[in-house]
Structure 1
Amino acid sequence: MKIERGIKKQLENVKKMEKSFLTGENFHLQHLLGAHLLEEGRFVFRVWAPNAQAVFLVGDFNDWKDTLPMEKDSHTGIWTIETTEAKVGDLYKYKIRQASGREIMKIDPFAIRFEQRPGDAAELYMIPEKKWKDGLWRGRMKRTNQFRRPMNIYEVHPSSWKHHEDGTPYHFSELTEELVPYLADMGYTHVEFMPLTEHPLGRSWGYQSIGYFALSSYYGTPEDFQAFVEACHLNNIGVLMDWVPGHFCINDDTLPYYDGTPQFEYSDPDRANNRRWGSINFDLGKPQVQSFLISSAMFWIEMYHLDGIRVDAVSSMLYRDYDDGPWTPNHEGGNRNFEGYYFLQKLNACIKLAHPNVLMIAEESSSETQITGMIETGALGFDYKWNMGWMNDVLRFYEMDPIYRKDHFNLVTFSFMYMMQENYLLPLSHDEVVHGKKSLMHKMWGDRYKQFAQLRNLYTFFMTHPGKKLLFMGSEWGQFLEWKFDEGLEWVDLDDDLNSKMQQFTAKLNEFYKAQPALWELEDSYDTIEIIDADNTSETVLSFIRKGKKKKDFLIVVLNMAPVERRDFHVGVPYPGTYKEVWNTEMLEHGGTWTEHNPECTSLPIAFNNYGQLIKTTVPALGAIILKPEKINLRKRN
């Protein structure tokens, strides 16, 4: 009797899951579709292929022959089979007789593990339940305001961070031993991985996925990645992952035209084909596809305790004319992709309802849509948006010969005009160090010494400008060569004194950033910054103040973008008193030539711009300094 009641309960749950799947409200769809253990030795397989003529389960267990036909539910389009033939570890696919009668082997879209490339069969795999030990970390994240915390992200492509001598990459079991201590030593608050979902071509860097629920077998097992995340949390490091809901791999045996008709993709070929990236666009307005994608995001967050997701290529989901080639206006005659717009709002609403502390970050390059902020106001509901404008302008400026910089000073000051329009994250990402763009260090003007000086200057500006931070691996020590996805980083660089000191500089800057509330405590408000002088184009020196909650908690930042030392340089200050230099990019320990900091400065009652007091100091050529109030009179604001 108990067994009968149990079976009845299971069937009722299946029916509920099927109903919510059809309406786009099932956000744990992996519990319905895919392969599941019913009882010892017995599995059920379910796959959605509404317009297929027939579907067969094929694999190691039946010599890949169509001896195991599946049954279709005509209402849901889901095909099902229960079998005792399959066992854990077997490889399998679905043989689908498509709507046209064509027969083709297709992957299981809900597989949680695949065989190693170049094969793409699913492996019948059960992830054992983990007893997590990261409760203190997760509890702390719930109790604190993410916008009032430092966030300094180290972006990683896991298989090219380090390689073995034979050329094989590190798995996550090895990254736990080496990358986690490195993140802690370098002072990063978070690590972000380029897509970890299964993908058939390393050259795609993971952005053309086939398995939206599967950790790429190239990186190890799901248990390996769980252990890595736990180790990060035990070391007070958050873990983020890139995720790609806009488009998917074009390979015929994966998701495209799964049942022979537009199933996961738009029915309009112009909307379905992503010509720019050679992939296929999801139909983001289809309820079943919404369930599929939101379930994928939920799965990664819940199965791996991720602290956040960076959604890739948001612009491609928002605008019909984003791609190359012909496009069709929407019903209003415009270029808005309403399906993508409402899907992204739904995605963020669902994630935030279930996991309020999980960070949702958008990689988005336009300014026509409010990306961050409340959905009720028309925004998409993301927590942060990559500030691509800041990144493009600043890198263009630092690549420039200093003789021309005075005429293009707006490239480093323009961001102050719009910096609070969104909650921004400043990215110095992988996209800027590939395809002939040169590494960050190689972009810098001048000889090798000047390049390192400017890189230190750039990173100081990066850390003191409002916005969260992201730096791609290898950039922390100024790797000269561009990033190569199929090789490890140039760790041999660290045998060089300038590279080694650059790495130490970055680590100390990271710790300085975390230790200074003025750099992150109010950065979602204009109260966080005062511009001292953004018009000194003749000398090419920028100065501003970053402020924390406490009146006395502020930093004065001075950046000299010219190869000329500025002696007796005037800087306006808000209060009379003394100011101490706490940061100087040209110190010998950082790779510069200075052996001592500037002496403590006492303000003079001389007007400077909007300030009634100023200090005089020396700013190194191509250098940056930061000063902190030592003894000031807070009652005499000038």
Structure 2
Amino acid sequence: MNSLIPGPEDLFLFHEGNLFQSYRVLGAHPAVIGGVAGVRFAVWAPHARQVRVVGDFNCWDGSAHPMQKISTWGVWFLFVPAVREGEYYKYEMVTSSGTLLYKADPYAFWSELKPGTASRVVSLEGYPWTDQAWQTQKRTCQAYRSPMNIYEVHLGTWKKNPDGSHRTYRELAEELVAYVKDMGYTHIELLPLAEHPYDRSWGYQATGYYSVTSRFGAPADFMYFVDRCHSAGIGVIMDWVPGHFVKDEHGLRQFDGQPLFEYNDPAKAEKTEWGTLSFDYSKPEVVSFLISNALFWFDRYHIDGLRVDAVASMLFLNFGKPREQWVKNARGGEENLEAIEFIKKLNQTVFRYFPDALMMAEDSTDWPLVTAPVHDGGLGFNYKWNMGWMNDMLKYMELDPYFRHGRHQLLTFSFMYTYAENYVLPLSHDEVVHGKKSLLNKMPGDYWQKFAGLRTLYGYMMGHPGKKLLFMGGEFGQFDEWKDLEDLDWELLGYDSHRGMQRFVRDLNRVYLHEASLWELDHRPEGFSWIDPHDHKQSIVTFMRKSSKPEDQLIIVSNFTPVFHEKYRIGVPAAGDYVELLNSDAGEYGGSGQRNAGMLKAGKRPWHNQPFSLQIKVPPLATVFFKPVNLHRNSTSQK
């Protein structure tokens, strides 16, 4: 924008769907015009007969501040002198039928603390960022060949104050960041932080897409949180919800008295399953709004990635709808053609401006090439949540170990497609709510077996190709499912079993960070090879992870039954010595203490299609990592 008043070029690009920093043009911005300090307001409301600004500064009487329509397609503008930062405001709409509506600003950067619904004036300029070293390091880092272990967090319930109030962004910047660093995670993923009216929507039903929620502080406080994360070497990913929005009267629904951000056709607009409305991706101004919003979080808050929620609901017109409400596209199919084009344009634009961004699709479908570039026919994301792996593994782990031998394919099937996309393996909040039970309580058996089974799962997950994600509380074995109005059950750390689980996850995370074979070739087939996927009778799998250095390998054995095998033979590719690097059955983690002590020497006895083999102990319900040392290179298999 070349002037303080939106110019013709900005307006043209906005109405073409190509104004990718529309938050600089629309909304409320402190400014000085003609030597007078005040705030310039701009809003898109093409169906309104009149728009007025109301707020503290005019006692909520809009007659003093009518806006001027400055574009044929409905952008309104007004400069109001003497308005200061922190003041509340809304837009008073006179609809085509003469009805008065009072709407929060779609481009507001700050919102009134709930239950209030007004917008607040604030400048996002001038924060003294100290993350230059992080930004430089990120430009040289190759995400695909780097560790990525994500701690998923709902800030409202990670830890509350004794009186039940929320920790602030600044308090969390100290306590949460220190905890995540100590636990060995590389990234924090935050459930949506866009302003939302209802706590129990967890942020997934937003009203203020540009307004970081005021529950935990002001915009500068969230900047401080991100800055502290980066200072600690932790990336920040935020859940982002471009698929639908909430129907609250002060929000986007029928913003100027008629459908605007949503589809005009109610059959396409309604998200029946969630009681929300779909964005209309065929409207260029909505495309400008959403793509600008994605860029906004990278630009203004320095976040490192977006996890794009509910992609399946965007790809398909009839997602979650009863059959009698189904509609078809112009070609007779169920795909949402304009949403598909929006997704491609979104990813292309984000990577144009922020080449090192993480764009992660939460997609439950088998849509092909989700993480392929748009120019190669893909949707353009660089990561996709592996929902198939998650569903299969949790289904398998909930089985009584006695019956697991008959469902062995649930363990191994994911390897048939693990390189089809760039995957993140998620054990997310969605799996520990609505009666699904916590991860720990999903495990069958007695108390000991539950903890042992969960440690086994975590170890197997860490060995499986793909980046990792775990929802808060899972790291210490939260026994109850997530209570979305209360904080985590931190008092459980007073018990040995939960403290041992937390210690195991911390040690597992640190092994992951240190061992390049667990992440460097995550998305390339040469980074993985089976040793034995076939021992279904004993529910044991053995496999190898590799890095670009031939000598850098790990052998991983997972036993999914409570049976201890004192002498179990596994094939290995080279002669030499092997050591037990990590054992989830160790006594300090709450296990039975069946360890493989000292150096284990590979014998020249072919096994599992390998030229050498080891005899090991396989503990009950455990995952064990073995690392080769002092390999005899001239005897390494060339297969």
TM-score normalised by length of structure 1: 0.97
Deviations 1:292-328 (A, max 9, x none): 0111111111111111111100111111121313122
Note if 1:380 corresponds to 2:379.
yes
Cα distance in 1 between the residues matched to 2:176 and 2:400: 37
Question: 1:11, CA displacement in angstroms?
Answer: 6.4
Residue of structure 2 equivalent to 1:3: none
Match of 2:137 among 114, 137, 140: 140
Question: 1:85, CA displacement in angstroms?
Answer: 5.3
**Distance change (3 Å), C-alpha of 1:395 and 1:58:** same
Note if 1:448 corresponds to 2:444.
no
Deviations 1:532-591 (A, max 9, x none): 111111111000000011111110000000110012101011112221111111111111
Cα distance in 2 between the residues matched to 1:241 and 1:478: 24
The aligned runs of 1:513-552 (5 Å cut-off) are 513-552=512-551
Deviations 1:328-357 (A, max 9, x none): 211221111111111011011001001100
SS in 1 for 2:441: helix
Contact 2:191 2:238 in 1 (8 A): yes
Residue of structure 1 equivalent to 2:245: 248
Contact 2:169 2:222 in 1 (8 A): yes
CA RMSD, 1 decimal:
1.4
The aligned runs of 1:152-163 (5 Å cut-off) are 152-163=149-160
Note if 1:347 corresponds to 2:346.
yes
Residue of structure 2 equivalent to 1:486: 485
Contact 1:439 1:479 in 2 (8 A): yes
Amino acid at match of 1:91: Y
Contact 1:587 1:597 in 2 (8 A): no
Cα distance in 1 between the residues matched to 2:281 and 2:545: 42
Amino acid at match of 1:485: D
Match of 2:39 among 37, 43, 50: 43
Note if 1:281 corresponds to 2:284.
no
Moved more, 257-266 or 455-464: 257-266
Question: 1:597, CA displacement in angstroms?
Answer: 3.5
Amino acid at match of 1:37: P
Residue of structure 2 equivalent to 1:567: 566
Contact 2:44 2:74 in 1 (8 A): yes
Amino acid at match of 1:243: W
Residue of structure 2 equivalent to 1:193: 190
- Number of positions where the alignment pairs a residue of Structure 1 with one of Structure 2: 631
Note if 1:151 corresponds to 2:144.
no
Deviations 1:67-113 (A, max 9, x none): 12112135130111222253322211111112232221111101111
Residue of structure 1 equivalent to 2:414: 415
SS in 2 for 1:45: strand
Contact 1:581 1:626 in 2 (8 A): yes
Note if 1:593 corresponds to 2:592.
yes
Residue of structure 2 equivalent to 1:5: none
Note if 1:31 corresponds to 2:24.
yes
Match of 2:8 among 9, 15, 19: 15
Cα distance in 2 between the residues matched to 1:324 and 1:226: 39
Cα distance in 2 between the residues matched to 1:236 and 1:324: 43
Question: 1:128, CA displacement in angstroms?
Answer: 3.9
SS in 2 for 1:397: helix
Extract unaligned runs of 5+ from structure 1. Answer: 1-7
Cα distance in 2 between the residues matched to 1:270 and 1:46: 31
SS in 2 for 1:534: strand
SS in 2 for 1:361: strand
Residue of structure 1 equivalent to 2:52: 56
Deviations 1:8-39 (A, max 9, x none): 95168622211110111101111111112231
SS in 2 for 1:17: helix
The aligned runs of 1:47-446 (5 Å cut-off) are 47-67=43-63, 68-84=65-81, 86-325=83-322, 326-446=325-445
Cα distance in 2 between the residues matched to 1:553 and 1:452: 30
SS in 2 for 1:535: strand
Amino acid at match of 2:625: I
SS in 1 for 2:189: strand
Question: 1:51, CA displacement in angstroms?
Answer: 0.9
Contact 2:153 2:190 in 1 (8 A): yes
Identity of aligned residues (%): 43
Amino acid at match of 1:550: K
Contact 1:551 1:634 in 2 (8 A): no
Residue of structure 2 equivalent to 1:504: 503
Question: 1:278, CA displacement in angstroms?
Answer: 0.8
Cα distance in 2 between the residues matched to 1:158 and 1:593: 36
Amino acid at match of 1:122: S
Extract unaligned runs of 5+ from structure 2. Answer: none
Amino acid at match of 1:31: R
Deviations 1:190-212 (A, max 9, x none): 00100000000001000011011
SS in 2 for 1:271: helix
Amino acid at match of 1:59: G
Cα distance in 2 between the residues matched to 1:524 and 1:9: 44
Cα distance in 1 between the residues matched to 2:25 and 2:576: 68
Cα distance in 2 between the residues matched to 1:251 and 1:132: 35
Cα distance in 1 between the residues matched to 2:274 and 2:596: 50
**Distance change (3 Å), C-alpha of 1:262 and 1:369:** farther
Cα distance in 2 between the residues matched to 1:482 and 1:9: 53
Deviations 1:247-267 (A, max 9, x none): 011112210111122211111
Amino acid at match of 2:15: L
Cα distance in 1 between the residues matched to 2:234 and 2:246: 32
Question: 1:44, CA displacement in angstroms?
Answer: 1.6
Contact 2:47 2:74 in 1 (8 A): yes
Cα distance in 2 between the residues matched to 1:594 and 1:204: 43
Question: 1:499, CA displacement in angstroms?
Answer: 0.6
Cα distance in 2 between the residues matched to 1:101 and 1:12: 28
Contact 1:176 1:228 in 2 (8 A): yes
SS in 2 for 1:414: helix
Cα distance in 2 between the residues matched to 1:226 and 1:581: 43
Cα distance in 2 between the residues matched to 1:595 and 1:390: 29
* Runs of 4+ with deviation above 4 angstroms: none
Residue of structure 2 equivalent to 1:465: 464
Residue of structure 1 equivalent to 2:636: 637
Cα distance in 1 between the residues matched to 2:48 and 2:396: 56
Contact 1:438 1:481 in 2 (8 A): yes
Cα distance in 2 between the residues matched to 1:485 and 1:17: 42
